[in-house]
A and B are shown apart, each in its own frame.
Chain A
């Protein structure tokens, strides 16, 4: 079983739609759950960060962690063309630990 699984897409949705991006993981020791966004020809940048379980909201973005199912999600409300990017889920066991990245999902928001 792979440590992290993420559908590579591409995922194309119309502007204004709600987007749901997901990752599953197998390592129950992960405690830090992150979403990075990577625009074309750029390095990844941290978008959302959650410690342990639960939801976290930041503007149009909501990160959700379900540790019992080993499943994390990123929701984007009122999606915009500027949200078109690759979204990588990321995990670590503690603050000192290396980050394990998913392979990324390419998202296209159609005007």
Chain B
């Protein structure tokens, strides 16, 4: 079974709709991240959380919000989706390890906003 899962895997929605993307992990990691990936722009950090009570904005947080419901769950919301939020969204987790700073990614959610 996958350690980091994302639901849904694909979603098509219309402008103005509220959308929630969910991420769950069984790795026991404290740290969770949301990225979006766009052709030509690479991976950009939206929000991150170092523990259940900690939420931080990333590089491109405008238009997004997050909720850390538990250590294992981190959801991303688009309150009113717009077409330029069409992208591939990844959740990732990490934990402090000696000498490393590795992030483990989920399989991604492909979101299309019409």
Complex interface residues of chain A between 40 and 85 (CB less than 8 A to chain B): 41-46, 49, 51
Kindly count the residue-residue contacts between A and B in the assembled complex, taking CB atoms under 8 Å apart.
Answer: 52
**Contact count band on B:** 20 to 34
Q: Are B107 and A43 within 8 A (Cβ)?
A: yes
The interface residues of chain A lying within 8 Å CB-to-CB of B96 are: 95-96
Q: Are A101 and B43 within 8 A (Cβ)?
A: yes
Q: Are A95 and B101 within 8 A (Cβ)?
A: yes
Tally of chain A residues near chain B (CB < 8 A): 24
Q: Are B42 and A104 within 8 A (Cβ)?
A: yes
Nearest B residue to A101, CB-CB:
B43
The interface residues of chain B lying within 8 Å CB-to-CB of A88 are: 42-43
Q: Are A43 and B42 within 8 A (Cβ)?
A: no
* Other-chain residue from A6, A41, A99, A102 in contact with B108 (beta carbon distance below 8 A): A41
The interface residues of chain A lying within 8 Å CB-to-CB of B107 are: 41-43
Q: Are A43 and B48 within 8 A (Cβ)?
A: no
The interface residues of chain A lying within 8 Å CB-to-CB of B43 are: 44, 88, 101
Q: Are A49 and B100 within 8 A (Cβ)?
A: yes
> What separation, in Å, do the CA atoms of A44 and B42 have in the docked complex?
11
Q: Are B103 and A99 within 8 A (Cβ)?
A: yes
> What separation, in Å, do the CA atoms of A99 and B93 have in the docked complex?
12
The interface residues of chain A lying within 8 Å CB-to-CB of B42 are: 6, 88, 101-104
Complex interface residues of chain B between 91 and 114 (CB less than 8 A to chain A): 92, 96-97, 99-108
Q: Could you list which residues of chain A lie within 8 angstroms of chain B, going by C-beta atoms? A: 6, 8, 32, 34, 41-46, 49, 51, 88, 92, 94-99, 101-104
| Besides A45-B104, A46-B103, 11 other A-B contacts (C-beta < 8 A) | A34-B102, A41-B107, A42-B108, A43-B4, A49-B102, A95-B101, A97-B101, A98-B45, A98-B48, A98-B58, A103-B41
